[in-house]
């Protein structure tokens, strides 16, 4: 998750209390009650905790071999299958990032130098820790030791991918996860999204942003379906790495968070709650059927 997001000022005011002005017609620069008052929003902390638990479970037991787990009995196999779903924690992190970043941008629309200030804040919050870590491990430590530690050798010789926020592209192109920096691919995805999304908010008329975001989410999922249909997608295969690590394939989670933010700060979230509930009710059985079929090898 992006450093500094926990310091976002938010409150517990519900969306129903917001003005029901058309999306994009809120007064520029006005502060939404949701983002004023307390230092943080406990509900978002709870979602972060769920995402963290999911990722920990995935790395703790989700990457074990099925044959090894099967020897542990039914309970071990059940835990293994549950832990593998911890990958959804990454999507939850992305969704939170998209929601919070879009909320910040939406509230500052119309302010003087709003996008310049946004990028300046992102730089001050993210770069010091990110580049400080790279400098300490890939520059300072080898200089102090007089050699490159074996555990950092792969990252040292390919560090340009890390310095330029492209480690996710390295994984997708070569299937190479840099030891001790494997999690940096999520930071790369978010940073690449941050480079493009604010410009989209600036260039697209506010009245068309909602429809554009929905179309983009559908396009990402269609792209994923086409990619999976055209090539095997077992873990470790090229198409799997592309789907799992590249920003175009992961943007739907970020955009889903952005969509919620636009509905929240445009005063429309309460209007769409019933629609969302109906869509969820209709699609859940289909989703479960698809999942169960895929897990059993249905074609």
Angstrom distance (rounded) from CA 177 to CA 157? 13
DSSP label at residue 38: B
Angstrom distance (rounded) from CA 105 to CA 128? 22
Q: Which pLDDT tens digit goes with each residue over 61-77?
A: 766 666 566 666 677 67
Q: What is the mean pLDDT of the chain?
A: 75
Q: Kindly tell me if the per-residue pLDDT of 233 is higher than 80.
A: no
Give mean pLDDT, residues 4-14: 37
pLDDT value of position 10: 37
pLDDT value of position 224: 80
Cα 204 to Cα 248, 249, 253, 265, 266, distances in angstroms: 19, 22, 20, 17, 15
pLDDT value of position 141: 95
pLDDT value of position 57: 81
Q: Kindly tell me if the per-residue pLDDT of 298 is higher than 50.
A: no
141 close to 149: Cβ distance less than 8 angstroms:
yes
Q: Kindly tell me if the per-residue pLDDT of 280 is higher than 80.
A: no
Angstrom distance (rounded) from CA 299 to CA 295? 11
Q: Kindly tell me if the per-residue pLDDT of 26 is higher than 50.
A: no
Task: Report residue 16 as tokens.
Answer: 């129903």
Task: Report residue 264 as tokens.
Answer: 């929240």
Cα within 13 Å of Cα(9), Cβ side? 8
User: Lowest-confidence range among 35-39, 71-75, 100-104?
Assistant: 35-39
pLDDT value of position 156: 94
pLDDT value of position 78: 73
For the stretch 145-178, what's the b/e string if a residue is b when 16 or more beta carbons lie within 10 angstroms of its beta carbon?
A: eeeeeeebebbbeebebbeebbbbbbbbeeeebb
Angstrom distance (rounded) from CA 245 to CA 249? 7
User: Lowest-confidence range among 29-43, 47-61, 234-248?
Assistant: 29-43
Q: Which residue has the higher pLDDT, 31 or 87?
A: 87
User: Lowest-confidence range among 72-86, 160-174, 190-204?
Assistant: 72-86
Q: Kindly tell me if the per-residue pLDDT of 266 is higher than 60.
A: yes
Cα 27 to Cα 32, 34, 114, 202, distances in angstroms: 10, 15, 14, 15
% pLDDT > 70, the chain: 66
51 close to 233: Cβ distance less than 8 angstroms:
no
Q: Kindly tell me if the per-residue pLDDT of 120 is higher than 70.
A: yes
Which range has the top average pLDDT, 50-54, 58-62, 91-95, 176-180? 91-95
With a CB cutoff of 8 Å and minimum separation 6, the contacts of 83 are 57, 58, 60, 61, 62
Give mean pLDDT, residues 102-109: 83
Cα 227 to Cα 239, 242, 244, distances in angstroms: 7, 9, 12
DSSP string for 59-85: IIIITS-HHHHHTT-HHHHHHHHHHHG
Q: How long a stretch of residues is the chain?
A: 299
Task: Report residue 103 as tokens.
Answer: 């909320």
- DSSP-assigned beta bridge partners for residue 10: 38
With a CB cutoff of 8 Å and minimum separation 6, the contacts of 28 are 109, 110, 111
Angstrom distance (rounded) from CA 175 to CA 239? 10
Which range has the top average pLDDT, 112-116, 179-183, 185-189, 271-275? 185-189
Q: Kindly tell me if the per-residue pLDDT of 292 is higher than 70.
A: no
Q: Which residue has the higher pLDDT, 165 or 240?
A: 165
Q: Kindly tell me if the per-residue pLDDT of 240 is higher than 70.
A: no
Give mean pLDDT, residues 193-222: 88
Q: Which pLDDT tens digit goes with each residue over 180-194?
A: 898 899 999 999 999
DSSP label at residue 178: P
Angstrom distance (rounded) from CA 204 to CA 194? 16
Domain boundaries along the sequence of the chain = 5-120+200-269
pLDDT value of position 204: 87
């Amino acid at each position: 998750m992006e450093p500094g997001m926990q310091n976002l000022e938010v409150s517990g005011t519900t969306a129903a209390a917001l003005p029901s002005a058309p999306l994009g017609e809120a007064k520029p620069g006005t502060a939404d009650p949701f983002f004023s008052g307390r230092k943080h929003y406990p509900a978002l902390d709870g979602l972060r905790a769920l995402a963290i638990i999911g990722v920990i479970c995935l790395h703790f037991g989700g990457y074990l071999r099925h044959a090894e787990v099967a020897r542990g009995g039914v309970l071990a196999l059940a835990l293994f299958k549950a832990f593998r779903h911890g990958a959804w924690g990454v999507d939850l992190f992305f969704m939170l990032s998209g929601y919070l970043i879009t909320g910040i941008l939406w509230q500052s629309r119309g302010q003087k130098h709003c996008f310049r200030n946004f990028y300046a804040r992102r730089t001050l919050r993210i770069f010091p820790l990110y580049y400080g870590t790279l400098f300490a491990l890939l520059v300072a430590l080898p200089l102090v030791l007089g050699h490159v530690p074996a555990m950092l050798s792969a990252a040292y010789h390919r560090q340009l991918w890390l310095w330029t926020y492209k480690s996710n592209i390295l994984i997708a192109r070569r299937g190479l996860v840099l030891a001790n920096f494997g999690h940096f691919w999520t930071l790369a995805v978010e940073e690449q999204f941050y480079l493009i999304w604010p410009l989209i908010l600036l260039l697209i008329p506010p009245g068309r942003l909602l429809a554009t975001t929905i179309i983009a989410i559908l396009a990402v999922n269609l792209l994923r379906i086409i990619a999976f249909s055209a090539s095997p997608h077992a873990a470790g295969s090229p198409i799997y790495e592309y789907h799992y690590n590249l920003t175009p394939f992961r943007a739907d989670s970020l955009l889903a968070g952005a969509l919620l933010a636009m509905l929240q700060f445009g005063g429309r979230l309460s209007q769409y709650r019933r629609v969302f509930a109906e869509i969820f009710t209709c699609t859940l059985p289909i989703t479960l059927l698809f999942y169960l079929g895929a897990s059993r090898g249905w074609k």
